[in-house]
Amino acid sequence: MRILVTGAAGFIGSHTAERLKSVGHDVIGLDNFNGYYSLELKRLNAKALLEKGIDIITKDLRDLDLAETLPKNINYIFHFAAQPGISLTSTFEDYFENNIIATKNLVDYALQCDDFKLFVNIGTSSIYGLEATFPESVAPEPASHYGVTKLAAEQLVLQKSREEQMSACSLRLYSVIGPRERPEKMYTKLIDLGLKGEAFPLFEGSDKHLRSFTYVGDIVDGVVSVIGNESKVNGEIINLGTEVEHTTKEGIEAVEQILGKSIALNVIPKRPGDQSRTKANIDKARRLLNYNPQTILLEAVKKQVEWYKANF
């Protein structure tokens, strides 16, 4: 199959592109290489993909000429590209343009592809709101511009499934960690500052937050398993993540254990819209995709520390 992966130079997108290529698919990556975070990391990810025979097209999904510039013989789209996370430096316009307008343009392009089989939207547990412990049938209550715009993007994609114009699904991911995690995310920052002997900025009260920290390899297992299950997943929203919960404090302790050193903490004011608890309800993923994440927290952190030391 010929597959387009958007956000292919990013964290989860790059891992997914590699996996799809490894099982024999013809994979094309797409990324706009914006400066939201380190271009050095994005280029490192892109280099790894190129070495495996995956080309990345530099393109912004907000452009209106996707159908004229991208190939039409695409069978699947895995849509990772987005304005990510809850950031005080990102404006509502950033989220709106990169999550809603960009997704609408990509959907319009997908409708013009020949022999198109499935549009896989990558959603987020932030869609649920301040607590994300629910099955997919629960009404979303997003508490951030990120969550609101990702919900809108998800519905833009699923609208076309309801109209029977194309097959589509949305996968809501939970607290993904592992090699290539973005620099501003918790584990990469903990590892970096821990190795440097510098203090980690901890949002007030967040040490008690509960998270489904899920290893990126387990997430990719679920993402790629939709291939061959198109009739099962069409029109569906599916949670992907681990059911095992850890506090942020336990996550910090896991990094300290792997590094063999303590990490100083610098408590800073709370961040608006931050979730207090995420626990992936994956009953539906088990039923439809036989999904069963296995990687424990310490193993995931060890792999991330090894990757960081090898590359930085």
Amino acid at 69: T
CB 142 within 8 A of CB 128: yes
Q: Residue 29 and residue 47: Cα distance in Å, rounded?
A: 12
Instruction: Tell me the two tokens of residue 30.
Output: 């797409």
The closest of 267, 259, 243 to 298, measured between CA atoms, is: 259
Which residue among 146, 174, 187, 291 is the active-site one? 146
Asked about 291 being catalytic, the answer comes back as no
The closest of 156, 157, 162, 171 to 221, measured between CA atoms, is: 171
Amino acid at 216: V
The closest of 4, 16, 201, 278 to 116, measured between CA atoms, is: 4
Identify the H or E element spanning 201. Answer: strand 200-203
Handedness of CA 164, 224, 238, 31 (dihedral sign): negative
Residues carrying an active site annotation: 146
